[in-house]
């Protein structure tokens, strides 16, 4: 008796349920945006001000303030660069 192989799994974004869910999310998002623009525009300044400290906390390590080890290594490499 031959065994039938299962079809390969379909990609998640190609399933009809996912497409329907995305279409519903876009429709709900458009409705919320169009009906509540006044509320959104009143909150934007506060959201911007709240985003600044969060961006500072999350991005603080990216520009050399991550810790003392990084600063010591940077000083050693800059001293070596000056000597050459």
- pLDDT tens digits along 25-68: 999 999 998 998 888 888 889 988 999 888 888 887 666 655 55
User: Does 40 fall in a domain?
Assistant: yes
User: Does 74 fall in a domain?
Assistant: no
70: pLDDT strictly greater than 70: no
User: Does 69 fall in a domain?
Assistant: no
Integer angstrom CA distances of residue 13 from 5, 8, 21, 33, 83: 23, 15, 10, 25, 57
User: Does 31 fall in a domain?
Assistant: yes
Check: CB of residue 22 under 8 Å from CB of residue 12.
no
d(CA 58, CA 74): 22
Domain tally, the chain:
1
Range of 37's domain? Answer: 17-62
d(CA 80, CA 40): 54
pTM of the model: 0.40
User: Does 55 fall in a domain?
Assistant: yes
11: pLDDT strictly greater than 90: no
Kindly state the tokens that stand for 28. Answer: 């709900």
User: Does 82 fall in a domain?
Assistant: no
| pLDDT value at residue 1 | 53
User: Does 49 fall in a domain?
Assistant: yes
User: Does 33 fall in a domain?
Assistant: yes
């Amino acid at each position: 008796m031959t065994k039938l192989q299962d079809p390969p799994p379909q990609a998640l974004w190609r399933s009809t349920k996912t497409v329907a869910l995305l279409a519903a999310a876009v429709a709900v998002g458009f409705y919320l945006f169009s009906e509540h623009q006044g509320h959104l525009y009143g909150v934007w300044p506060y959201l911007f001000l709240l985003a600044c400290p969060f961006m500072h906390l999350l991005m603080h390590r990216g520009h050399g303030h991550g810790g003392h080890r990084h600063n010591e290594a940077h000083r050693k490499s800059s001293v070596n660069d000056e000597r050459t």
